[in-house]
Amino acid sequence: METEFDQKKVTEQLNKMSSQKHRFAFAISVCERLYPNYIYFSRHHNWGNPNVFRMCLDAAWEVLSGKEKPIQMEEWLTECEENIPDTEDFDSIFVSSALDASTSIVALLRDTDSIATDVVVEIASFARDTVDMYVQELESMEFYGAELEEKILKHPLMQAELKSQRETIESILAIKEFDLEKISYLESIWKQPKTSNIGFS
């Protein structure tokens, strides 16, 4: 069984990575798994603009490949920020996951040249929080304290998220250098997954 998300441990693992590109790649992988949650929310509430977030993620892959940021990036980020949902405006199970997804993508693209480790850890935390909130709502959990945390940790969705993060970090740590062939391979397996980290498609 996977152990609970540990920010300190994730930080240590990210700091072991040999370059900023390695950390940026991990952040992209997390954002890709969160992005379908925003699409699902947008369709359900007929609100928001998934396309601009997709453009930003596509740009992130280009930056990872060594290309310059698109000149429209600041414009896109401004539009993204305008399309981050306020949880007080929507009464549904979907808004929290959309908030985590959109906030993560903006954080990813805010400083592509030298993304800070703490920003990457925050993005990973958002993914964990998405599952935490969704599982509590999905299962109508009424436990408290340690019992609640244990129930959430053991849930298949949380185990899958923690496993995904662990395995992704391990695979990135094994990469000595990000050449175009390696980046193309990662893009083929990480980009636009069929389902999100909570099963939305």
Taking only the tens place, the pLDDT of each residue in 1-23 is 999 999 999 999 999 998 999 99
Give yes or no for a contact between 162 and 13, defined as CB atoms under 8 angstroms apart. Answer: no
Question: Of 100, 106, 21, whose CA–CA distance to 57 is shortest?
Answer: 106
8 DSSP assignment? H
**Closest residue by Cα to residue 112 from 65, 80, 49:** 65
Name the residue with tokens 């903006």: 106
Whether 200 shows a pLDDT value over 70: the answer reads yes
Task: Write down all domains in the chain, each with its CATH number in brackets.
Answer: 7-183 (1.20.1590.10)
Distances 100 to 38, 106, 130, 132, 155 between C-alpha atoms, Å: 9, 10, 7, 12, 20
- Per-residue pLDDT tens digits for 43-92: 999 999 999 999 999 999 999 999 988 999 999 999 999 999 999 999 89
What's the confidence (pLDDT) of residue 143?
66
Average pLDDT over residues 87-109: 96
> For residues 135 and 151, what is the distance between their CA atoms, to the nearest angstrom?
9
